[in-house]
Structure 1
């Protein structure tokens, strides 16, 4: 039995698998911004999913910077209660299992590169658009452990505006394209918005961030995930039209995530599979 956990600022997803290939069960609950209560809820859910069976490994994805050497959460802007927390403390009830900590976007990227929309490409860039904005680069179907965790959501795309993200970065990609910022900027929630004009502006802003990612990472393909990817058909035209203004390069293929909000937990199983085989 294996467990994969994707902790987000809004929702927490916990999945079980018998073979690291298929999800046996998946539980989703509202993230609790009280660490003791969140820890208790995670323990309760794992025990229900395991049903008394031994757990060989647990992978946890968190929305922030992790220190892989110590399995510590350095900083999680959209879940500050996790700042400084050790994985061994968060999952102290499961010390007998192999515990793995990783950035949530890196796990989402891994799932898409190995089993999803990025299969067949050497270099896969992944952007997750949700409560915040995260991203990662996967090369040769693996997370590069020598590369520090990337936070492309905090890149600056506009120096002339006052919109800021949860870290206070004024003019960041996250300040224009996250779920939280969407409602602040446009006065409605992203999941119910069908205004093509709004989505055109949203896509234009996203394209500026994507152009920077292409220039810095040079990926073969870009996969868009997270909750806002449900509106991919609405904003992709704005992305494509704006990218034509940046004619220094031919942009790579941009596609929607195959797994959407399950990318993180699936990536956790991929990570466990790779680590247990090594």
Structure 2
């Protein structure tokens, strides 16, 4: 049996897989801001769901940056109390099993590539547009190798800061600085779901298309899967992203597929399950 976890900046999800193929209803709790309390919470939930049965391994994603060997949680904007903590060894010690940890967006992307909207494609790019903007490249159902992970949300799409009248002249603005939920709230003084102007959302789709253009020419995927809270019903319309991208990207004879994510809030648990099995085999 495996313990699967998805540690977000707001909530964490923990689930038990008995057969290595499926998992039970996840337990969802607010993510403790303190690292030791967070580790203790995962231990407590593990004891509750396993009921004394033998756990073989645990794994999942966390919202932030990890060290090269994925043992230290370096930095997370919403998990400051976890920064520079030995997450891998701490969880392994309290659970008594091997633990495998990766960035949460990468794990969700793996889930979408293996089980969700990207299933059946060799090269899958997953992008999340939410509080922030992140992404990952999945090749043959594995998170692609990298030195320090992937950060497509921090690509500069406006080197002179001229795309928006509230930009600071001469300051490079990244994709996250334009289309993330945080950026929208800071710029317009409203939560994204409070904005119903179609022209506004079409402009967000255009800016996302520029970011996708750069990501596609660098990573050359078969399919791009896009998820996150900014892609919901009141949000960036994916059909407009496709339309804008078609007018931007001409270097290739055809565009990769652009699809909405399909696993909703449990994509990270599907990814965690596959990630554990991959690591146990290697």
State if a TM-score over 0.5 links the two structures: yes
Deviations 1:211-243 (A, max 9, x none): 110111011100012233323884223312321
1:235 aligns with 237
1:1-278 aligned within 5 A: 1-69=1-69, 71-91=71-91, 93-145=93-145, 148-159=148-159, 160=161, 171-231=173-233, 234-243=236-245, 244-249=247-252, 250-278=254-282
With 12-21 and 72-81 compared, the bigger mean Cα shift is at: 72-81
Deviations 1:138-183 (A, max 9, x none): 111112345541111111112315669xxxx951111122222232
Gaps of 5+ in 1: none
Gaps of 5+ in 2: none
Q: Moved runs in structure 1, 4+ residues, more than 6 A? A: none
Deviation at 1:68, TM superposition (A): 4.8
What do you get for the CA RMSD once the two structures are aligned? 2.4
* Number of aligned positions between the proteins: 274
User: Structure 1 length as normaliser, TM-score?
Assistant: 0.88
8 Å CA contact retained: 2:60, 2:271: no
User: Structure 2 length as normaliser, TM-score?
Assistant: 0.87
In 1, distance between residues paired with 2:145 and 2:87?
17
In 1, distance between residues paired with 2:137 and 2:70?
22
Structure 1 residues 57 and 192: CA distance shift in structure 2, 3 A? farther
8 Å CA contact retained: 2:34, 2:82: no
